[in-house]
Chain A
Amino acid sequence: MARIQSSLNISSADFRRNYGANKVRIEEFRAKQHAARFNRPQRDVERLAKQGKMMPRERLERLLDPGTPFLELSSLAANMAYDGEAPGASSITGIGIVSGREVMLRADDPSIKGGAWYPLTIKKIVRCLDMAIENRLPVVHLCDSAGGFLPLQSQLFPDKHMAGRIFRNQSILSKLNCKQLSLVFGHCTAGGAYIPGLSDYSVIVRGTGAVFLGGPPLVKAATGEVVTVDELGGCDLHTQVSGTCDYPAGSEAEAIAIGREIVSQWDRAPKWAIQQAEVEAPHYDPDELYGIIPDDIKRGFDMREVIARLVDGSRFHEYQPAYGTTLVCGYANLWGFKIGILANNGVLFNDSALKGAHFIELCNQNQTPLVFLQNITGYMVGREYEARGITKDGAKMIMAQTCSRVPKFTIMCHGSFGAGNYGMCGRAYDARFLFTWPNHQIGVMGGEQAAKTLMEVKLRQLERNAQHIDQAILDRVYHETLEAYQEQVTAYYSTSEIWDDGIIDPVDTRNALGVAISASLNAPLGDPGYGVFRF
């Protein structure tokens, strides 16, 4: 396969400006991520130490095989919610290696409000279990939670994808033969009790671990019974009497050691046989990505330069290189895995949409996973393009993409605006993994366009009602819209709301995709077939 010939000039003013700006961005991202992971009130750190508990990341580190990669998901979830009170949405999720098995890990974070579940905690847990289902991964739960955060219960309990979905997903996982292990370090109260209850294996730590539907205060209020935590749902009750938990442990370290031994008993389901080649590092240095990503969301760039810094040997077999050139399509290998890439090099026209749909069909036929690299302002608008059927051509691309049987992966490299987000496998389209770069912006349209549109709507409304047209009102509509937009289009807002599986440093994209593709191969390919294409 031919190597991409980079035409990047690393001594140009453009490159240097972008590089500087992106380095600052990455430092800001790293600082936020470090704070979300490690900044905790001293009081909570001391409380855990006094209980003989490890911090949640210490538990994970002990559980994971040394020297193996851990792909953390949604590390900045909830960073813009709850006044920043729930860093990481009070939980840690990710894919790692335990006793040689690829597993999904899910840990409560008792150093934040006793590990209480906020609405976004629930969303993060449900998403990680969805990913376990989609990729057929076993799950290890590290349980230590006070239960749902009661002041926000209406946002975390009743709806389809709220708390109940956790236990629904656990049941489905079990039906799919994905093993689950719960390590009970702290309390599993109310719904949380079903996590070990629905796991195939559970280990509970004597003295600190407890599982019950209602804790002592609730029991007292309900029936007047006065009972201690240990009597109600402690280690010995559940491992000797009720049979709710399987293995008693004298300490957290022992629980983790037993857990590793349990996982080492698990069979490894065969992965489907993707085409593989020998791994080759990219020929071009991924560090140069910082000089490629523009400092301005409106600036385009050649996505081939990005591909050249992601894939094995920077080698790329470009499909239809001269047709529909605003969508770059082609085959490459990443960590040896054969992939098909669709990358935006401008707005989508009729020909680029058709090329994309056709290439997706080729990848489905060829059993080649799809990687979408988004930098898209939408499908082309205007009379000429409507007359040529831009809407139905975009619909074809969405149909082919949605009905794909191969796993899909999406990287938000820069802008993601309008319907282009749909065609390019945005969040709604079941990408197995979707990662975001810190410079990313997302919205139904750009901020300025939205503000202008709403200002014009207001203007027509005033005209219709024959009201006095007050420029001050129009200006207010414009500025309020723009302000709200400017916050909500950012990558940090997006990842706070878990519209992605986490922000990543662009240079880590290759490794993140490598882990993701490897994990995806555990699930069999979907059924072939599409709906009706409008020709």
Chain B
Amino acid sequence: MSIELNLDGTPRTVSVAARKPGWRLTVDGTPYTVSEEQGEDCVLLTVGERRYRVWRALEGNRVHLKIGGRTFSLGYEEEVSAAAHAGAAGHEVHADMPGVVVDVHCGPDAIVSAGDALLVIESMKMQITITAPRDGVVAMVHVAKNQPFEKGNLLVSLRDEEA
């Protein structure tokens, strides 16, 4: 798998393959042989003919590096993002199942962020909070408290916040 690395604003395609005793690193199509050994207080990294002293620390999905007087902080973004799951969130919130509105938490022109509670509905003895699928402004609430609705009915519509 190759990854996209953005360094000082320049995107580079990088891949790493195991080649004992180290790795083969490819940056934008150019291969390098890389190996490392533990130094006294740092890692000694050999790239091709050159040697670097590297200090590094891991913090969750980030790695902090110090190489040749410069420091870098690299973040790793999952290839599979949560956004891909949900699909592009639309402006309309429809009912996934028939039910009754128990509570209305928003009104027209309310500014909402993704995840904010819009409505509480009850279906099959379970109360479910309907949340905003995206940031925006409530254009219209199509149902009222205690109102029953069918599957597929439009519950709330949103519009983009004006800049």
Contact = CB atoms under 8 A, between A and B. Distances in A.
B135 interface: no
A274 interface: no
Contact of B78 (A2, A296, A326, A415): A2
A326 B96 contact: yes
Contacts of B131: 7
B126 interface: yes
A279 to B, nearest CB: 16
B122 interface: yes
Interface in A8-53: 9
B58 interface: no
Contacts of A381: 124
Contacts of A7: 114-115, 131
B39 to A, nearest CB: 25
Given A7-B115, A322-B87, A346-B97, A300 B127 contact: yes
Contacts of B86: 321-322
Contacts of A378: 124
Interface in A195-238: none
A197 B2 CA distance: 64
Contact of A346 (B85, B115, B126): B126
Contact of B85 (A1, A321, A384): A321
A322 B85 contact: yes
B117 to A, nearest CB: 8
Contacts of A4: 82
B85 A325 contact: no
B104 to A, nearest CB: 16
A299 interface: yes
B125 interface: yes
A5 B61 CA distance: 13
A2 B82 contact: yes
A298 B115 contact: no
Given A2-B81, A321-B86, A298 B98 contact: no
Contacts of A317: 80
A492 interface: no
B129 A300 contact: yes
B128 A300 contact: yes
A347 B97 contact: yes
Nearest to A445: B125
Given A300-B126, A346-B128, A378-B124, A5 B82 contact: yes
Contacts of A528: none
Nearest to B120: A299
Given A298-B122, A346-B128, A347-B123, A382 B98 contact: yes
Interface in B96-122: 96-98, 114-115, 122
Contacts of B61: 3
Contacts of B125: 298, 377, 417, 446, 449
A380 B127 contact: no
Contacts of B60: 283
Interface string A289-320: 00000001011100000000000000001100
B11 to A, nearest CB: 22
B97 A349 contact: yes
Nearest to B125: A377
A431 B86 CA distance: 32
A12 to B, nearest CB: 9
A18 B57 CA distance: 37
A296 B124 contact: no
A379 to B, nearest CB: 9
A443 B98 CA distance: 23
A298 B126 contact: yes
A343 to B, nearest CB: 14
Nearest to B77: A2
B124 A347 contact: yes
B78 A3 contact: yes
A426 B98 CA distance: 26
B100 to A, nearest CB: 12
Contacts of B126: 298-300, 346-347, 377, 415
A103 B3 CA distance: 46
Contacts of B97: 326, 346-347, 349, 380
B127 A298 contact: yes
Chain A CB within 10 Å, residue with most, of B79, B82, B114: B82
Contacts of A384: 151
Contact of A2 (B80, B114, B122, B123): B80
Contacts of B82: 2, 4-5
A4 B83 CA distance: 11
Contacts of A349: 97
Contacts of B78: 2-3
B136 to A, nearest CB: 16
A2 to B, nearest CB: 4
A1 B82 CA distance: 11
Interface in A375-404: 377-378, 380-382, 384
Interface of A: 1-5, 7, 9, 283, 296, 298-300, 317-318, 321-322, 325-326, 346-347, 349, 377-378, 380-382, 384, 415, 417, 446, 449
8 contacts: A2-B78, A346-B97, A346-B123, A346-B124, A347-B123, A347-B124, A349-B97, A382-B98
Interface of B: 60-61, 78-82, 85-87, 96-98, 114-115, 122-129, 131, 151
Given A299-B126, A300-B126, 20 more contacts: A2-B79, A2-B81, A2-B82, A4-B82, A5-B82, A7-B131, A9-B115, A283-B60, A296-B127, A298-B122, A298-B127, A322-B87, A326-B96, A326-B97, A346-B96, A346-B124, A347-B126, A349-B97, A378-B124, A449-B125
